[in-house]
Structure 1
Amino acid sequence: MRKLIDTPLASPVHEKHKPSVHESAIAHVTGQAIYVDDKVEPLDCAYAAIGLTARASGSVKTLDLAAVREAEGVVDVITINDVPGMRDIAPVFDGDPVFVDDKIKFWGQPLFAVLAQTTDLARRAAKLAKVTYEDASPCLDTEVAHKDKRYVRPPLQMVRDGATTQKSAHRVSNTFTIGGQEHLYLEGQVSMAVPDEEGMLIYTSSQHPSEVQKLVAEVLDWPLHKITVDMRRMGGGFGGKETQAAQWACIAAIFAHRQKRAVKLRLPRQTDMMATGKRHPFTNTYAAEIDAKGNILHCDMTLLGNCGHSPDLSDAIVDRAMFHADNAYFYPSANISGYRCQTNMVSHTAFRGFGGPQGMMAAEAMLDDIARKIGADPLSVRKQNLYSADGTDTTHYGMQVENNLLHDIISTLENDCDYWQRRAAISEFNANSPYIKKGLALTPVKFGISFTAKHLNQAGALVHVYTDGSIQVNHGGTEMGQGLHSKIQIIAAREFGVALDAVRVTATRTDKVPNTSPTAASSGTDLNGKAVQNACQIILENLITFLAKKYDTQEENITFDSGYVGVGAHSLPFAEVVQDAYMHRVSLSSTGFYKTPKIHYNRDTGKGRPFFYFAFGAACSEVEIDTLTGENRVTRVDILHDVGTSIHPEIDIGQIEGAFIQGMGWLTTEDLKWDEQGQLISNNPATYKIPAIGDTPSHFKVKLFDRANAEDSIYHSKAVGEPPFMLAISVWCAIRDAIASVSNYQVSPTLNAPATPEEIIRSLRGVSTTQGSGNESS
């Protein structure tokens, strides 16, 4: 039988399938794209709303819901005591009850839910509850939690004992904080539960339909086969809908089961922001021993992740922060400790980068400090500490950095963006500008691709070829605007040699592809693309076997291209071949499956190969700061990023641009604030500032690094969802560079993130007081 070879697309993309638009672009811009809240509701649909706690800790003394039940239009009210099955809906480790149970865990925790004839009536009724509390002092500080050994999961260490006889010439150390980040997806959390004779159909805006299926089944005490989850598209997710979309589906399902009618639950924005988790805030401490040239000899790092009240995904998130605490740099000797601190805040959760950005920040801050210590340019120090092929190519957790592209990427970018000429010009500008200071930084990214939980690195697919030659594809990934379905469409079209419009990718459904992994860890195309390819190739083998026998030819003589099938001297329309195969009882449908090879990791020893490959990139950012007001502006950004052989260059560039701007917001403007009682006060778009279009740099250039993935990924492409987010660290480093210029680069400033105007002023004052003091962090 002919072997179907997985060859790369021609660079930059196979001409026959060169995409022009996202597969849903027209539907998006014309308003025809159907999201959960757009679905036509059954005539008897009722609407739910949530009542939240007004304390961060303690317990509920009394809960009087009489006025809620008697309010206009109210149908039903439920609390934790009305959950028919399992009450804890935690994704991995226990700790996430559907509603408040015995103890209050955070301010804004769901306490009860009300069902009414309209959304407005439900939300009005929810405000009528009378609650009294037994108060307790909340823990809201990461470092206090660490001091008190309040952890949601045990600490972990990754140690490399690379003792050297070389003596340290200098030591740099510092501690700084990194704020969290609100996902602020355009489409908020929403679910609709529709009971039917087979069980229940759930429409949900979730990155993990199979987990929603499982948890809904568990709270209802039903088998999984009675629950079907449908997810056509999300209006953004960014990790915020990986685990935390399930709660709202579960509540809607409980009501639907009790009332035997459809139920929709859509959170208003403020409730969404208060009741769902964020990116983990971190407190990072590092200390490095270096030689006189700035080469790292040893480093100690302590990473404190603020996990909120429960584990959620924090174990793996802090793990990934530890994996990426090296970013692109070789540590001959290292001791990296990660702590999963418990506070009385909402349980923080997955967010683009999944802990990797917080770990990389420690590395990049440390490299800046080393450069200032020895009086060198930060880029030079970064380049000399990069992983290399001279025996310095193994991470602190034992994985070899193979096919390292960073040396080529950085050298190409520094030349293309005129780094050294601009560095000289900026130094001269700063020397002559008393109040406005400019900063420049070029930082790399090395990001590991795979779920660090090995069992999640699998995917399934279902492909049907119909007798008219059209093709329907279903897979376990979810579309959240990132273009996954567009890439899957290209893959199926290429495998069968047909036009893109011959392929339709349908809504993700648990009754078509079961037991799916979340669309996360940048693995959507890697996993599901391979599974779809596998299903396509099984069908192709069936067709090839049939045609070879019918036309008495070798299988190698059969080709599929441009909507035609070549069989020796014959050229037959694909649809005609499919119809002929059907008449001869040839199977035209198949499931597909893929599991990522090579990966392994022993958490007890902190060693292994947790990633299939690394994605690389680099960004050069230039900023201006006003030393009187602390205001900052990003004026120029140049990016060169590695996506392997791009399946869809336009989508990849869009993902890089969006990720960078989102990362820039995390590090400059997005400032989460809780008051002393533990209430989130930056709980709406008026008090929480994401980047606006005016914050986009006027010079913003993105180029793809044209190099095929050496690993056998789908068409030798690389993941693009998360890695470019961390390119924005260059903005934060450029702001530090501008602040350092006040001391003629003699002092390396402590700058907490986000670098708001207030924080920049604070940092500038710190530079003024430590200038010439020989501070350890300088």
Structure 2
Amino acid sequence: MNAPAHPLSAAGVVGRSRPHESAAAHVAGSAPYTDDLPELAGTLHAALGLSPVAHGVLRGVDLERVRAVPGVVDAFCADAIPGENQCGSLVKDEPILAGGPGAVLRHLGQPVYAVVATTREAARRAAALAKEVITFDALPPVLDAMQAHAAGQYVVPPMRLARGDAAAALAAAPHRVELDFGVGGQEHFYLEGQIAYAQPQEQGGMTVLCSTQHPSEMQHLVAHALHRPSHAVQVECRRMGGGFGGKESQSALPACVAAVAAVRTGRPVKLRLDRDDDFLVTGRRHGFRYQLALGHDDDGRALGAEVTMVSNAGHSADLSGPVMTRALCHFDNCYWLPDVAMQGYAARTNTQSNTAFRGFGGPQGAFAIEYALDSVARRLGRDALDVRRANFYGVGERDFTPYGQRVEDNIVAPLVDELAASSDYAARRQAVAAFNAASPVLKKGLALTPLKFGISFNVVHLNQAGALVHVYLDGSVLVNHGGTEMGQGLNTKVAQVVAHELGLPFEAVRVTATDTQKVANTSATAASTGSDLNGKAAQDAARRIRERLVAFAARRWSVAADDVQFADGRVQAGGQAMSFAELCNAAYLERVQLWSEGFYATPGLSWDRQTMSGKPFYYFAWGAACSEVLVDTLTGEWRLLRADVLHDVGASLNPALDIGQVEGAFVQGMGWMTMEELVWHPKTGLLATHAPSTYKIPTANDVPPEFHVRLFGRPNAQDSIHRSKAVGEPPLLLPFSVFFAIRDAVSAAGGHRVDPPLSAPATSEAILAAVQAVRSAA
């Protein structure tokens, strides 16, 4: 894994901005997604009959009425599943279908039965009978996480992470703030919804084409549902139309239902959730509630902190445990907290089971300390950036996290200094104050917030990857790896890595669909590790082939192996040269292996779940953003005027893709912080915001007219793939600056004398209420 670098042309492929490998196909509409693939003869379509009640006891389902709908071929409940009626990721507490009479109905929208028909329309018509054919005894639902917390209802045991004596530090602190606030959940809103296409194969085999971030988990869960060995199930995913974590675990239910239906009918079955059903069936980002106390000195330095985090887990565990773990591990963000006590509770409610979402709990954890420091600054009458700087991680005893990992390669101070200078923060702070003094209705706000984000799965064994690389006699290369492409450019980066390793032009390398029959037992493409893990695995495979070719060329030309160089599609040494393809042909004739597997496991990781301590992250990514907003205090409407971003991606593999990821994460995170509000009916438990007509996401009009994004450009101190850093999740924390700029503007409405009672999302309604509260208190 740590072999020395080989000589390559200075004009290599890695580190260059290249278009996404499917960009032209995306634009032309010729990139096939699962629903675009040609349907096999006899394909049937499935739909789900959903629970009409948030909580109740199932009495029965009149499947005969469902089967009587024209076009229906089959309809079944949980008792028809040959194997295990479970699709829970870590805890086996989530049924595929609700179960038989006596089963508990857990949320409005829970799948109770499946229907299979000759057309999708016929299947949906039959599924829509759910309100008429499902009988139940209703029970009172628990829809609020704090209500569940008060009742002690959790999906996993409570967690505690502590250092020092927080209670004593709080008692001795000169100043203390106590806060109660929250942040809402967020719908993934991937453009391609959940879909699976199951195709029966010979001798009991099953192929499932699935829009999933975790093909191996889908393989195992489908095999369990069918009561068949894993080798009988093949799961393939060429690309997804977005995932954001929503297709890590929750692609399982469609995959299992489609596969069971295909076995029962003996025909291919496709299940594509309607957008409304997708919202009602699947979960989303966990909303959090915080009760926080922070003790500090006159300069705003944190002396002690206690925080209780309560997440809305929904009806089952899913990934709520690891999400809470990461939230607790990111509470510190960029700051040294000498004495701290954190408690985490994943509350069980009668709502959809919440799941992974870009950041995986990290944003929810970091938001809490940022909120607290923002309040500290306001109460001291200091600039919030000065308070944040006063708390940055330092050296010596100030460079260990609460969970015991040393903060190495700490670049937060120089990064923030550079952004403060380039964004002209100090002068703009004065200009904002002058504007607000002369404007009674419109108020401006400005905020600069930093981030630190740990990179690795916080379950150690998941930090591994495999790859296959095939070199053909014409010099072209085919790569397969365990990562999945969801638009983020993973396959482009992996192709660049392999091309670089073999000294080939980018066009010589092709990456194929993720396939459980090619690379087995893979981890999910999640935790921002896609390029780190799969890039290293593909590099390992390509390096093995190159070393064989080097040895062959050295023998053939009677030169030292160190003299053999690969560059620009040619191989040369000792004054002799030939094309890469010619060398491959010659090597083939001498029976040199031209394909290889590769493997990578992230080194040095450790984690003790009982003590909540160890080194869960290989390295940290850093970043900062400065945002300026304009708020109308009469309506609560606001606009983002300008955003400046400086983000750390190490030595970028592909700057164009990385900047695109940063821009996209900023806008997506801004939506979560300001406008994406989830609303459940307080009595029925119906998710009222279950369609684009009722759920507001950012559009192109919400992108600021001045949007400056730059990469910090310092190589990773750790031996990551070409010293790059992950870029998927960390930049989602950048738009904290938008929320705190809005809070700054609201504070200005009261002369900065009152701490605004504003939680996220800061919708226009919430902003208006906060303005009124500030003015009343002032």
SS of residue matched to 2:397? coil
- Structure 2: unaligned runs, 5 residues or longer: none
CA shift for structure 1 position 605: 1.2
Matches within 5 A, 1:104-143: 104-129=105-130, 130-143=133-146
Of the candidates 742, 757, 767, which is equivalent to residue 760 of structure 1?
767
SS of residue matched to 1:482? coil
**2 CA distance for matches of 1:547 and 1:707?**
36
State the match for 2:633 in structure 1. 627
**1 CA distance for matches of 2:746 and 2:493?**
43
State the match for 2:695 in structure 1. 688
Contact 2:483–2:524 at 8 Å: present in 1 too? yes
CA shift for structure 1 position 550: 2.0
State the match for 2:251 in structure 1. 245
State the match for 2:754 in structure 1. 747
State the match for 1:79 in structure 2. 77
**1 CA distance for matches of 2:354 and 2:480?**
31
Matches within 5 A, 1:301-340: 301-340=307-346
Of the candidates 605, 608, 612, which is equivalent to residue 602 of structure 1?
608
Which amino acid in the other structure matches residue 553 of structure 2? L
SS of residue matched to 2:158? strand
Which amino acid in the other structure matches residue 713 of structure 1? S
State the match for 2:390 in structure 1. 384
**2 CA distance for matches of 1:363 and 1:476?**
36
SS of residue matched to 1:305? strand
Classify 1:632/1:9 alpha carbon distance in 2 versus 1 (closer, same or farther; 3 Å). farther
Contact 1:6–1:715 at 8 Å: present in 2 too? no
Classify 1:17/1:384 alpha carbon distance in 2 versus 1 (closer, same or farther; 3 Å). closer
State the match for 1:5 in structure 2. 5
**1 CA distance for matches of 2:197 and 2:184?**
33
Classify 1:393/1:4 alpha carbon distance in 2 versus 1 (closer, same or farther; 3 Å). closer
State the match for 1:674 in structure 2. 680
State the match for 2:35 in structure 1. 37
Report the RMSD for the aligned CA atoms in angstroms: 1.6
State the match for 1:730 in structure 2. 737
Of the candidates 376, 379, 388, which is equivalent to residue 373 of structure 1?
379
Of the candidates 167, 187, 190, which is equivalent to residue 185 of structure 1?
190
Which has the higher mean CA deviation after the structures are superposed, 54-63 or 710-719?
A: 54-63
CA shift for structure 1 position 61: 2.0
Q: Deviations over 1:91-115 (max 9, x none)?
A: 1101110111210111100010100
CA shift for structure 1 position 329: 0.7
CA shift for structure 1 position 743: 2.2
Of the candidates 291, 295, 305, which is equivalent to residue 299 of structure 1?
305
**2 CA distance for matches of 1:690 and 1:348?**
19
Contact 1:643–1:719 at 8 Å: present in 2 too? yes
State the match for 2:285 in structure 1. 279
CA shift for structure 1 position 764: 1.7
CA shift for structure 1 position 391: 2.8
**1 CA distance for matches of 2:114 and 2:406?**
51
Q: Deviations over 1:676-709 (max 9, x none)?
A: 2111010000100000111110000100001000
CA shift for structure 1 position 19: 4.2
**1 CA distance for matches of 2:49 and 2:429?**
55
State the match for 2:22 in structure 1. 24
State the match for 1:776 in structure 2. none
SS of residue matched to 2:749? helix
SS of residue matched to 1:628? coil
Which amino acid in the other structure matches residue 96 of structure 2? V
State the match for 2:94 in structure 1. 96
Matches within 5 A, 1:651-730: 651-676=657-682, 677-730=684-737
- Structure 1: unaligned runs, 5 residues or longer: 772-778
Q: Deviations over 1:208-265 (max 9, x none)?
A: 0001100010000000001111100000000000000011011010011111111100
Contact 2:557–2:576 at 8 Å: present in 1 too? no
Contact 1:304–1:339 at 8 Å: present in 2 too? yes
**1 CA distance for matches of 2:225 and 2:14?**
49
SS of residue matched to 1:422? helix
**1 CA distance for matches of 2:229 and 2:453?**
39
**2 CA distance for matches of 1:153 and 1:715?**
39
State the match for 1:266 in structure 2. 272
Of the candidates 156, 161, 166, which is equivalent to residue 158 of structure 1?
161
Paired-residue identity, %: 49
Which has the higher mean CA deviation after the structures are superposed, 86-95 or 652-661?
A: 86-95
Q: Deviations over 1:63-88 (max 9, x none)?
A: 21222101111100011010000011
State the match for 1:584 in structure 2. 590
CA shift for structure 1 position 28: 0.5
**1 CA distance for matches of 2:623 and 2:226?**
46
SS of residue matched to 2:734? helix
Of the candidates 458, 464, 471, which is equivalent to residue 464 of structure 2?
458
CA shift for structure 1 position 567: 2.1
TM-score normalised to structure 2 length: 0.97
CA shift for structure 1 position 4: 4.1
CA shift for structure 1 position 332: 0.7
State the match for 1:343 in structure 2. 349
Which has the higher mean CA deviation after the structures are superposed, 120-129 or 25-34?
A: 120-129
Which amino acid in the other structure matches residue 146 of structure 1? H
SS of residue matched to 2:342? strand
**1 CA distance for matches of 2:368 and 2:92?**
30
**2 CA distance for matches of 1:492 and 1:609?**
30
Contact 2:559–2:574 at 8 Å: present in 1 too? yes
Which amino acid in the other structure matches residue 362 of structure 1? A
Classify 1:62/1:7 alpha carbon distance in 2 versus 1 (closer, same or farther; 3 Å). farther
**1 CA distance for matches of 2:551 and 2:120?**
57
**2 CA distance for matches of 1:2 and 1:377?**
46
**1 CA distance for matches of 2:656 and 2:753?**
43
CA shift for structure 1 position 765: 2.4
Structure 1 residue 169 corresponds to structure 2 residue 174: yes
CA shift for structure 1 position 16: 7.8
SS of residue matched to 1:225? helix
SS of residue matched to 1:77? strand
Q: Deviations over 1:500-557 (max 9, x none)?
A: 1110100000000000000000000000000000001111111112122222211111
Q: Deviations over 1:608-643 (max 9, x none)?
A: 111000000000001111111111111110000000
Contact 1:16–1:499 at 8 Å: present in 2 too? no
Which amino acid in the other structure matches residue 526 of structure 1? D
Contact 1:9–1:647 at 8 Å: present in 2 too? no
State the match for 2:64 in structure 1. 66
**2 CA distance for matches of 1:165 and 1:747?**
26
TM-score normalised to structure 1 length: 0.97
**2 CA distance for matches of 1:151 and 1:765?**
36
CA shift for structure 1 position 293: 1.4
CA shift for structure 1 position 126: 1.4
Which amino acid in the other structure matches residue 610 of structure 1? P
Classify 1:513/1:727 alpha carbon distance in 2 versus 1 (closer, same or farther; 3 Å). same
Q: Deviations over 1:468-510 (max 9, x none)?
A: 1100000000000000000011001000000111101000000
Which amino acid in the other structure matches residue 761 of structure 1? L
Classify 1:520/1:213 alpha carbon distance in 2 versus 1 (closer, same or farther; 3 Å). same
Classify 1:403/1:313 alpha carbon distance in 2 versus 1 (closer, same or farther; 3 Å). same
